[in-house]
Amino acid sequence: MSIERKLLDLKKRKEAAYKGGGEARIEKQHKKGKLTARERLEILLDEGSFEEFDVLKVHRCTNFGLENNKIAGDGIVTGFGTIDGRPVYVFSQDFTVLGGSLSETFAEKIVKVMEMSAKSGIPLIGLNDSGGARIQEGIESLAGYADIFLRNVMYSGVVPQISAIMGPCAGGAVYSPAITDFIFMVKKSSYMFLTGPKVVKTVLNEDVSTEDLGGASIHSTKSGIAHFVYESDEEVLLQIRRLMSFLPLNNKEKTPLKKTNDAVDRIEPTLNKIVPSDPNKPYDIKEVINLIVDDNDFLEVQPLYATNIVIGFARFNGRSVGIVANQPKSLAGTLDISSSEKAARFVRFCDAFNIPLVTLEDVPGFLPGTKQEYGGIIKCGAKLLYAFAEATVPKITIILRKAYGGAYCVMSSKHIRGDINYAWPSAEIAVMGPKGAVEIIFAKEIMKADNRDEAAAKFEKEYRDKFANPYSAALRGYIEDVIEPKYTRFKIIKALEILKNKEDSNPMKKHGNIPL
Ligand code: HXC
C-alpha cells in the first residue's frame, strides 16, 4: 500500500472514531442541551492542546450482538492537554456510544490516564455522562469500575482529581466521583444517585422524580455531594478551568502564583466598622473575604450547603489560599454536623496539596440540641478538630468576634498549631457566651436576688467586661497580636510570606484514624 493510501486509511479510521455514535445521536445529545464528549474537551482545554490516547481501541464483547457494534474509542475520549498552559489528564464519556456505558475496554482507557497522571504528578479531570455498567458485558464492567475506584483512592492526595457530572451517573458509578476532590454538576441535565426512582418506588413506595432524587439542586443544597453547580455544560467547563488556576499540579508542588496589581498594603477602613457593636447582630463574612483577598476574587466551594461556614479559594499577593470562615448570617455561625464535615474535608484537601489556610473566626459554639447530638455532632465536630490539628500547611487565624468554648479550640487555634493568630479588638475569646456563663456560675445569686433580670444583667456585664475581649488570650500569647481590622489584608500577606517555607510534620504512622 502506498504511503498516500496508508495516510488516507488512517484519516478514515480517525474520522469514524470522531463521529462517535453518529449524527442522529449527536443531535439527540444537543437537543437535551448537552455537548458531546469532544466538544466538552474543546472548551475545557487550551485550544489545540489536546492529545488523544487509544482513539482506535474497541471493546472485545461478543454478547447480544455487540460483536457487530464496535465503535473506535468505545465511548470514551481520553488523553492530555493544558489549561492556561498547565498540563492535565482528562477523560470524557461519550453518551452517543452505547449511552457512554462502561465496558472493560472503556475502564482500561480511564485507568491508563489515571496511572499516567499519578506517575507524572498531573491532575486528572473526568467528565461523566454514562448509563453505567455496560449491561451486555456483565461482570467485566464491574471489575472495570473497581479498577477505577482503587486508583481514585490510591491517587487521592497525590494529584487533584476533579469530576464533572454532565448527564446520568447512577448505581455504583457514583463512587468514583465521590472519592475525587471536587464534583461539578450541570443544572437540570445531570443527576447522581445510587438507586433510581423506579427502585425507590418498588422498595419504599415513594414517588420521586430523577431531579428531586439526585439532581444538581439537591446535591448542592441538601446532600452537599456537589461542590459546584452551574447552568450549562459550557459554564461548568469554564469554572473547572477557574478552579484549576488555584491548585498546584500535585502534592509536591507549591501553590501557583497569579500576578496581581492589587496592592499588598491596601487598607480597608470599612473593616473597622463591619462587626456590629451588638454581639447578637449578624453581618456577612463574605463581605470581609471579598475586601481582603486579591481583586475580590473568591471561588466559593459548596456555597449553598451548610451556609453557616464559608469555604473556598482566593489569593493573597498572587498566592492561593484556602479560606475557612464562620458565617454569622447563617445559624449565627455555629458549627453543626454539616458545616463541620464540609470544612473538615476542605481543610484536608488544602493540607494535602500545600495550600495555606486562612481561618476567619466568629463562632458562638457548637449548635446544641437533640437533632445534633443524635446525629453525631461529637464525632463530626471532631473531624474538623482533627483536620485542623493534623494540617501542617501555614495556618493563619483571625478572630473577628466570637471564639467560644470547644469551637475556639477547633477553629485553627494556637493550641492545635495555628502559626499566626490575630484578633480584632471586637474579639470575645472565652469558655462560653456571657448569658450561658452567668446562668451557671451565678445561679444561686440570681435566684436570691429581688430582681432576677437585673441581677443577671449585672453579672453578665461583669463577665463580658472580664472575658468578652481579646486581651485574656493576648496576655497568655494565645494570639500573636490584636490588630486594627483595616490592616488585615497586609497582615495576612506578611504572615503568608514569612511562613512560605514553613515545615512541620506529624509522627510516623500508617495513617491516623479520623472519626469518620
Ligand atoms: C448498554 C446502554 C446502557 C447500558 C444506555 N445504553 N445505558 N447500553 N449498557 N448501561 C444505550 C441504550 O441502549 C441506547 O442505545 C443508548 O445507550 C441511549 O440510551 P437511551 O435509553 O436511549 O437514552 P435516555 O433515554 O437518555 O436514557 C438514559 C438512561 C437509560 C436513563 C441512562 O439509558 C438507562 O436507564 N440506562 C440503563 C441504566 C442502568 O441501569 N445501568 C446499569 C446500572 S448498574 P441506542 O443504540 O438505542 O442508542 C451499574 C452498576 C455499576 O451501573 C456498579 C459499579 C460498581
Strand partners of residue 192: 169
User: Comparing C-alpha atoms, which of 423, 414, 505 is closest to residue 468?
Assistant: 423
Q: Which atom of ligand 1 is nearest to the CA of 25?
A: 48
Q: How does DSSP assign 140-171, residue by residue?
A: HHHHHHHHHHHHHHHTTTTS-EEEEE-SEEEG
What is the residue with the minimal CA distance to atom 7 of ligand 1? Answer: 131
Following DSSP, what letter does each residue of 457-470 receive, concatenated?
Answer: HHHHHHHHHHHSSS
- Expressed in angstroms and rounded, the spacing between residue 491 Cα and the centre of ligand 1 is 55
Residue nearest ligand 1's atom 41 by CA: 132
Backbone φ and ψ for 41, nearest 5 degrees, come out as -65, -30
Count, residues in the chain? 516
Q: Which CATH number fits domain 3-244: 3.40.50.1100, 3.90.226.10, 3.40.50.300, 3.40.50.2000?
A: 3.90.226.10
* CA-only gyration radius of the chain, Å: 26
**What is the pLDDT at residue 346?**
98
Catalytic residue among 157, 171, 196, 376: 171
- What is the Cα 231 distance to its own chain's centre? 19
Kindly state if the Cβ of 145 falls inside 6 Å of ligand 1: yes
Distance 135 CA to ligand 1 centre (A): 8
Ligand 1 pocket member 148 (CB < 6 A)? no
Return the pLDDT at 171: 87
Dihedral, CA of residue 19, residue 21, residue 24 and residue 30, to nearest 10: -80
Q: Is 97 in the pocket of ligand 1 (CB under 6 A)?
A: no
CA of 234: how far to CAs of 42, 43, 357, in Å?
10, 7, 30
What's the pLDDT score for residue 425?
97
- For residue 133, the 8-state DSSP code is B
Report pLDDT for 225: 97
The CA–CA distances, whole Å, from 375 to 118, 307, 396, 404 equal: 37, 18, 31, 22
The finding on whether 172 has its CB within 6 A of some atom of ligand 1 is: yes
Which listed residue (406, 436, 449, 455) is catalytic?
Answer: 406
* Residue-wise burial string across 504-514, b where 16 or more C-beta atoms lie within 10 A, e elsewhere: eeeeeeeeeee
Residue 248 Cβ inside 6 Å of ligand 1? The answer reads no
pTM exceeds 0.85: yes
Question: Ligand 1 centroid vs 106 CA: distance in angstroms?
Answer: 15
Cβ 474 under 6 angstroms from ligand 1:
no
Ligand 1 geometric centre to CA of 100 (Å): 8
- Determine which residue's CA is closest to atom 3 belonging to ligand 1: 131
The answer to whether the CB of 79 is under 6 A from ligand 1 is no
Angle between helices 104-120 and 139-154 (to 10 degrees): 10
Report CA(131)–ligand 1 centroid distance (Å).
Answer: 4
pLDDT value for 241: 98
Question: Could you tell me the three cell numbers for 342?
Answer: 464540609
- Known catalytic membership, residue 407: yes
pLDDT of residue 261: 96
Determine which helix (DSSP H) or strand (DSSP E) holds 373, and give its type and residue range: helix 370-375
> What pLDDT does 432 receive?
87
- Decide: 61 in ligand 1 pocket, CB within 6 A: no
- pLDDT value at residue 86: 98
* All three cell numbers of 445: 445569686
CB 426 within 8 A of CB 385: no
Q: Which atom of ligand 1 is nearest to the CA of 132?
A: 52
Q: Is 211 helix (H, G, I), strand (E, B) or coil?
A: helix
CATH T-level fold of 269-432+469-498: 2-enoyl-CoA Hydratase; Chain A, domain 1 (3.90.226)
173: Cβ below 6 Å to ligand 1?
yes
Site to probe by mutation for ligand 1, drawn from 64, 93, 98 as the one with most ligand atoms within 8 Å of Cβ, is 98
Residue spans per domain, the chain: 3-244, 269-432+469-498, 434-467
DSSP 502: -
Whether 3-244 shares its CATH topology with 269-432+469-498 is answered yes
Q: How far is the CA of 26 from the centre of ligand 1 (A)?
A: 16
Tell me, using a 6 A CB cutoff, whether residue 102 lines ligand 1.
no
- Encode burial over 131-145: b for 16+ CB neighbours within 10 A, e otherwise: bbbbebbeebbbebb
- Pick the catalytic residue from 22, 33, 172, 369: 172
Q: Which amino acid is at 1?
A: M
Does any ligand 1 atom lie closer than 6 A to the CB of residue 133? yes
Q: Which residues pair with 310 in a beta bridge?
A: 325
**CA 98 to the chain's CA centroid:** 32
Contact 99, 44 (CB under 8 A): no
Residue 172 designated active-site = yes
Rounded distance, CA 312 to CA 75, Å?
A: 34
State the Cα–Cα distance between residues 109 and 121, nearest whole angstrom: 18
- What residue owns the CA closest to ligand 1's atom 17? 99
Cβ(502)–Cβ(323) below 8 Å? no
Residue 133 phi, psi dihedral angles, 5° rounding: -60, 135
CA–CA separation, 346 and 325 (whole Å): 12
User: At residue 101, what is the residue type?
Assistant: S
Q: Are 315 and 294 in contact (CB under 8 A)?
A: yes
- Using the mean position of ligand 1's atoms as its centre, give its distance from the Cα of residue 101 in Å: 6
Which residues on neighbouring strands pair with residue 235, listed in sequence order?
Answer: none
How far CA 397 is from CA of 263, 363, 481, in Å, comes to: 21, 13, 11
Per-residue pLDDT of the chain (516 residues; tens, 9 = 90+): 899 999 999 999 999 999 999 999 999 999 999 999 999 999 999 999 999 999 999 999 999 999 999 999 999 999 999 999 999 999 999 999 999 999 999 999 999 999 999 999 999 999 999 999 999 998 999 999 999 999 999 999 999 999 999 999 998 889 999 999 999 999 999 999 999 999 999 999 999 999 999 999 999 999 999 999 999 999 999 999 999 999 999 999 999 999 999 999 999 999 999 999 898 999 999 999 999 999 999 999 999 999 999 999 999 999 999 999 999 999 999 999 999 999 999 999 999 999 999 999 999 999 999 999 999 999 999 999 999 999 999 999 999 999 999 999 999 999 999 999 999 999 999 998 888 889 899 999 999 999 999 999 999 999 988 888 999 999 999 999 999 999 999 999 999 999 999 999 999 999 999 999
CB 427 within 8 A of CB 408: no
Which of 19, 23, 30, 135 has most ligand 1 atoms within 8 Å of CB, for mutation? 135
Q: Residue whose CA is closest, atom 46 of ligand 1?
A: 98
Q: Calculate the CA 217 to chain-centre distance.
A: 16
Closest CA to 177 of 145, 137, 202, 207: 145
> Does the beta carbon of 98 sit less than 6 angstroms from any atom of ligand 1?
yes
Position 435 scores a pLDDT of: 86
Q: 89 forms bridges with which residues in the sheet?
A: 80, 124
